[in-house]
Amino acid sequence: MILYLLFLTLPVLLVFLFSKQKRLKKKTLIPPGPPGLPFIGNLLQFDTATPHLYLWKLAKTYGPFMSMKLGSVPVLVVSSAKMVKEVLKTHDLTFSSRPKFLSLQKLSYNGLDAAFAPYGESWREIRKICVLHLLSNKQVQSFTPIREEEVFRMITRISDLASSDHDHLTNLSEIMLSFSSSLICRIAFGKKFDDQEGSEVNKFDELMYEASGNAGWLFCF
């Protein structure tokens, strides 16, 4: 019964989506670009092995300013110095905001941090605070001993594992995760990652893996 209802409602939903998409296309003028499939756009056509060559060939056909769709996300591709100047200098305020990806919203409290907040007065104030108080040259230089010590510890750990008699592979991903976690903990919280209790370490590792997974999902597109 449920499958029967799905088969009945699916054509209606498809017609509704197609008609809505046509209305949006009539209202907004978009640059030319390769035709895509419904819902997935140009994802199946995109050459992930040599994307620069793929986009270069498309630019020969559709011009230096073309549009694509990666899934439901519209993308503008700029491939000439003149158009880059128009985007980054002449009309920079139009293109200076950030897209709202679900993964980034989860990592940045719905886009409230400096990296992914939408462009506006709030973002300018956050940037000013970061530049003056968090990322100033004096503040960054004050953490140099911590960075050097953590890098030395990481290299020593890799060297010890490589020179040990045990015949096993060295998990560099785990070592790099431990290095990143220790560096963040010492700079942000003032204590070593190794000094935390087991449950806190596991929770911090889970957060790092989740953040990496969300970032990896984003860069896949």
% of the chain residues with pLDDT over 90: 15
Q: What per-residue confidence (pLDDT) applies to 70?
A: 84
Query: Which tokens belong to 115?
Result: 């990296």
Helix (H) and strand (E) counts in the chain: 10, 2
Do the Cβ atoms of 39 and 71 come closer than 8 Å? yes
| CA–CA dist 209, 221 (Å, integer) | 19
Which candidate, 121, 119, 100, places its Cα nearest to that of 110?
100
Give 76's strand partners: 67
User: Residue 208 is part of which domain span?
Assistant: 143-220
From 56, 75, 94, give the residue that closes a domain. 75
Is 91 part of any domain?
no
Is 180 part of any domain?
yes
Q: Which of the four pLDDT bands, split at 50, 70 and 90, describes residue 221?
A: very low
Question: What digits encode the pLDDT tens for the residues 145-185?
Answer: 999 999 999 999 988 888 876 667 788 888 888 888 888 88
Residue 6 has pLDDT above 80, yes or no: no
Is 97 part of any domain?
no
Helix (H) or strand (E) holding 78: strand 73-78
Say how many domains are in the chain: 2
Q: Which of the four pLDDT bands, split at 50, 70 and 90, describes residue 198?
A: low
3-state secondary structure of 113: coil
Cα(first)–Cα(last) distance of the chain, in Å? 37
Q: How many Cβ atoms from other residues are within 10 Å of residue 57's Cβ? A: 12
Q: Which of the four pLDDT bands, split at 50, 70 and 90, describes residue 83?
A: confident
3-state secondary structure of 176: helix
| CA–CA dist 153, 160 (Å, integer) | 10
Mean pLDDT of 114-131: 84
